[in-house]
Amino acid sequence: MQPRAPKSIATARSSLHTLPVMTDTNTDGPPRLSRLTFHSPLSEERAERMIRRLAANGPSSVLDIGCGWGQFMMRVLDAVPGAAGVGVDVNGEDLARGRREAEARGLSGRVEFLEKSARDADLGPADLVLCMGSSQALGSTSEEALGALRGLVSDGGRVLIGEGFWERTPTPEELAGMWPDASASDHHDLATLLDLAVAAGFRPEWTETANRDEWEEFESGYQADAEVWLARNPEHPAAAETRERLDRHRASWMTYRGVLGLAYLTLVAAR
């Protein structure tokens, strides 16, 4: 998951459903995110519970904003055989991965991946809208993103949003170590985030937050392939840039660890 610009978190967890791991002998540089399943700190157990709840509503249309490779959306489609899905993202490599997996799952006729900005696309309304750590695709603030999501979901439909919040107010020293121009105003606390969802026209059906294990599984998986590649290819032309990027992200993670949280809010669009 990538927080609202200029912030930078990440998301996921490895599982048996991941694509094959690229080898560390790749001559073009390190592999990218091959150990991640979801593009957010999300365990298999939590994902299964979420999908059961969402599938019980029988959505016929699913829209995934900032879908990455669309793993969560495709699992919803597996659970609701009559549903069709659309995933929107600007990363062509992730979308190609999603199309390969959709074909392997037998979902090619039920899911479409669009390489475009969610703000520019003619989308919705859908019965279920997913926005897992990708609200920056819809607005520069949580308020803007929630307002945009209300316009994308059918009355009575569900939105599942994964949104950052402060577990506690970060100190100036912590903010300086997070991401460029990090500010305490980049996120709200959880209570305020829920109030903003209600003000945008939702009622919160379910509130949960990523735990420490999910964060560590995600952040480790986010870095792991490139770390192993770098250890085995220290003289590669891409090694210096890779080392700098990995060290910078690890330092940022160690700073926001335990300070930045991720809330998963299942919201009902009020009529």
Tens of pLDDT, residues 56-107: 999 999 999 999 999 999 999 999 999 999 999 999 999 999 999 999 999 9
Domains delineated in the chain: 44-269 (3.40.50.150)
Six-digit token string for 202: 């939702």
What SS3 state is found at 194?
Answer: helix
pLDDT of residue 27: 53
The model's pTM is: 0.89
pLDDT of residue 83: 97
Task: State whether the Cα torsion 72-73-75-79 is positive or negative.
Answer: positive
Tens of pLDDT, residues 116-130: 999 987 898 999 999
Cα 26 to chain center, whole Å? 26
Q: Where are the beta strands (DSSP E) in the chain?
A: 61-65, 84-89, 111-115, 126-132, 153-166, 202-209, 260-269
Which residues on neighbouring strands pair with residue 102, listed in sequence order? none
Tens of pLDDT, residues 85-99: 999 999 999 999 999
Query: pLDDT under 70 in the chain at which residues?
Result: 1-27
Cα 5 to chain center, whole Å? 14
